[in-house]
Chain A
């Protein structure tokens, strides 16, 4: 076998490892129900849940509770299955949280509680005008 062949095989091997590890470390978009099921099976992979913040009649977000020391907060989130779940976040509320149209939480269940390590916000209104300021 030529050296260049060994070299080629080596590269392919590394490429396969990369793809495998991507597939292995890739997270998934799931619902709270799926996430709970995963957690109950002992799968503690971090997952993504997409959802919205529940609002009252006048459009204010409800269910947000900062901790007494203000360093963390919990909130309610409704996923695509319309399931409401209390989510804990170990950081102060991100800027624009209340204005977001869609929330993606990255995290998982720990002892039956959903802890979000990361919150991604989707605020299209940030850049898209809703009307003219007159």
Chain B
């Protein structure tokens, strides 16, 4: 039975959300200059309706996902029955429509908050705010304009049969698939449950300072908007920053490019607006203190939101095409996204141009000793950083523009993007660290030449000493790295000094110092973890690199055969084989699992001990979390005999093929990051060597593939799985024990005489790459003839990388967030006080 109701409800709610956002925009705008507030209640009401409609859409879509209504395209395409509740949540934003919804959902909540926390700003800022929602809702409308044949938006409420041209629907219009296609395995990670909501909260909040700025210019309050906008700008920068870093951490844990940041266009597209937003809040702070930099604050806040829309265009229109490793499906929204972008550019330009002459600007020269000078320098560097990233990222857009005008452009992004971006960003980061350290002194004290010397002497000396020590210990020899290190240490020391003196008087003022310490620590963390990441799996076997290669090529990977130790840097590594992760017993050897009851329940086929030390016996059932996942057990042993085990993951997904994820050993000073690059294709037929025959009697020893084996005894069998034995038939099983490197294996080949015909059921010991068959039995000599054949041992190719001091990066992030928190609370209190006095 097809559930028509939720889809219809969803459609109606989307249309309601669209209309109510239009109505609310109009009503709020109408009320701006209305002394009688005649539209106020109506505008508020319209927004409430809008918010309820948005929540309704979200709930409807979620209930469709959790109710497994696979008759709907979105549900079929992104979910499946076995997904646990938290992955049902993350499958919600697997598709573009869902992620737009997430963005709108935050906007609805933020709108409700803003309506209730603003007084005099409410109508003007909400008019702008709601206007953006009109564009967002249009992205999921899925309405075709009759006559023009123009489709607006892509709806998540379409039935599968309306999207897919599958012959089954002509035969059976009510056909509902049994199960969905499932969630992209890369997104089956806990970070994907919280990273997108955080990032989209960041996206959603960028419109708030933008709305205040536009509202301020529209209502003639060109200065006053900064006060309410500042805490929101800080909040937005904090959330967006955290969202970006969560994405980086997800990439670090899940993807296998070997790091947390790859300068992929998708990453750049959010990094750039974040930098500009951070620059904006610095100029805003400068304005609050000394009435300067108003114009630059306006420009930067407007630019931030426009860049957010631009990045949405870049990532969702399909324009990046070949430039990004991320895959985007083009939903045909590029036209709509372009309109969204241009409307807001034109709106910003017109509104700003109208009042530009009235905006006060300081004509007098800013002295190098003034605090504004330093803030302004910092903001400039941040903007240049953004500029340096956005230009190359926009190369595909440039090609499109040239082609639209009939030209041809074959420009491609830099071949080594990491090196290209890192180089420039490194120079700018050095400047940033120096400015963030020095600027703080100018901020808090009135400076002159002698005072400057007195203030700066101690931090400079201290940081030079500290850098020299690190230089000696960590052997930082690259001149640019050394400069960045020194500058960052200086920033930490200087801000620490500021923090101590500021916090003594009022801890609420210390946000800046704390945040700056955080940034400097992040720079140090990035410097070491990326600049000095060391590939441990360098090939050291002395084997020649494949002779066909024209030049020396870095060989970063290592081939490990099962149970054969290999030395790698400071570690001896042993690959122990494939494992399944259970809910209760840790990891269990895949070879010891015989069968599956269902997708999440497996049966033990051989007595075994799990990684947690539990003994599991034949016939026990174990529960697993995800049937697609297997894990490679790799043991690392250092020189002192200490060892640890990593379980890099393999996900075998029908749609996506094999997906590898790393496993990371975390210690205070460094992470050891390991991922498998490839392993033998399990679908490939095994090529066995020719059978070698050997005659053995029970109790005697022999060799199987160079391993010592003992023929223990024979057992008559009454039941052989899969074969029906008659009263005349005979079946025997030979019990053979083989000494492996780490454990004793048993092989139990079976010999059957059924209807006077001999049947042989060989047994395979995967770890030893051996197959044992009972070829024949000599009852007179009491001996058996075994047939032995071997194959290639199981293997993996891995890459292992050490990432020193990566924890400094995460710790820095935490401090940055705390710093932001302190600053937000201070600035929000300021706004509240003014509002309650009736000033705002």
Contact = CB atoms under 8 A, between A and B. Distances in A.
Interface of A: 2-4, 7, 11, 14-15, 18-19, 21-22, 25-30, 45-48, 50, 67-72, 74, 88, 90-93, 95-96, 99, 102, 104, 106-107, 110-113, 115, 117-118, 120, 122-124, 126-129, 131-134
A39 B416 CA distance: 18
A15 B327 contact: no
Interface string B78-93: 0000000000000000
Contact of A28 (B322, B410, B548, B656): B410
Nearest to A86: B548
B60 interface: no
15 contacts: A2-B365, A22-B392, A29-B322, A29-B410, A29-B411, A68-B546, A69-B559, A71-B555, A72-B549, A88-B549, A90-B555, A102-B322, A115-B551, A115-B553, A127-B327
B550 A110 contact: yes
Contacts of A133: 177-179, 181
B329 A124 contact: yes
A19 B391 contact: yes
A71 B560 CA distance: 11
Contact of B550 (A21, A27, A69, A111): A111
Contacts, number: 155
Contact of A21 (B416, B424, B543, B658): B424
Given A68-B546, A129-B181, A18 B388 contact: yes
Interface stretch (B22-30, B160-168, B588-596, B631-639): B160-168
A48 B412 contact: yes
Interface string B349-366: 000000000000000011
B733 interface: no
Contacts of B415: 25, 27, 45-48, 106-107, 117-118
Contact of A111 (B365, B546, B551, B795): B551
A29 B556 CA distance: 28
Contacts of A25: 392, 414-415, 420
A111 B547 CA distance: 13
A102 B323 CA distance: 13
A126 to B, nearest CB: 6
A21 B425 CA distance: 13
Residue among A30, A95, A118 facing the most chain B CB atoms (10 A cut-off): A95
B627 interface: no
Given A11-B384, A132-B177, A70 B678 contact: yes
Contacts of A117: 415-416
A129 B77 contact: yes
B559 A131 contact: no
B413 interface: yes
B655 interface: yes
Given A11-B380, A96-B657, A26 B549 contact: no
B384 A18 contact: yes
Contacts of A88: 548-550
Given A69-B543, A71-B557, A131-B166, A120 B410 contact: no
Contact of A132 (B166, B388, B548): B166
A119 B321 CA distance: 14
B658 A134 contact: no
Nearest to B389: A18
Contacts of B546: 67-69, 71-72
Contacts of A14: 384
B412 A18 contact: no
A29 B551 contact: no
Nearest to B380: A11
A74 B550 CA distance: 13
Nearest to A114: B550
A129 B795 CA distance: 33
B268 interface: no
B387 interface: yes
Contacts of A7: 380
Given A50-B322, A74-B548, A134-B177, A28 B411 contact: yes
Given A18-B387, A26-B412, A72-B549, A92 B677 contact: yes
Interface in B551-597: 551, 553-557, 559
Contacts of B659: 95
B164 A131 contact: yes
B317 interface: no
Contact of B322 (A2, A4, A19, A122): A122
A17 B234 CA distance: 31
Contact of A95 (B413, B420, B657): B657
Interface string B530-557: 0000000001000101101111011111
Interface residues on B, range: 35 or more
Label chain B's interface by main secondary structure: loop
Contacts of B175: 132, 134
A90 B166 contact: no
Interface in B345-383: 365-366, 368, 380
Nearest to B797: A92
B678 A128 contact: no
Given A28-B412, A71-B557, A104 B322 contact: yes
B656 A96 contact: yes
A28 B659 CA distance: 30
Contact of B387 (A15, A45, A104, A113): A15
A112 B657 CA distance: 33
A104 B321 CA distance: 11
Interface string B677-718: 110000000000000000000000000000000000000000
Given A71-B557, A96-B657, A115-B550, A26 B413 contact: yes
A26 B548 contact: no
B102 interface: no
A106 to B, nearest CB: 5
Interface string B647-678: 00000000111111000000000000000011
Interface in B752-766: none
Nearest to B161: A132
Contacts of A67: 546, 548
A21 B420 CA distance: 9
Interface in B305-343: 321-322, 325, 327, 329
A126 B413 contact: no
A39 to B, nearest CB: 11
Contact of A47 (B168, B412, B539, B656): B412
A129 B559 contact: no
A17 B806 CA distance: 32
A103 to B, nearest CB: 10
A26 B395 CA distance: 9
Contacts of B322: 29, 48, 50, 102, 104, 120, 122
Contacts of B553: 72, 90, 115
Interface string B178-189: 110100100000
A126 B660 CA distance: 16
A79 B553 CA distance: 24
Contacts of B184: 127
A30 B797 contact: no
B327 A122 contact: yes
A18 B539 contact: no
Nearest to A19: B391
A70 to B, nearest CB: 6
Contacts of B395: 22, 26
A112 B795 CA distance: 33
Which 7 residue pairs across A and B have the least CB separation, nearest first?
A46-B415, A67-B546, A111-B550, A90-B553, A27-B412, A92-B678, A48-B412
Nearest to B383: A11
Contacts of B327: 122-124, 126-127
A3 B414 contact: no
B615 to A, nearest CB: 36
B398 to A, nearest CB: 10
A87 B660 CA distance: 24
Contacts of B368: 3
Nearest to B544: A69
B801 to A, nearest CB: 14
B825 to A, nearest CB: 34
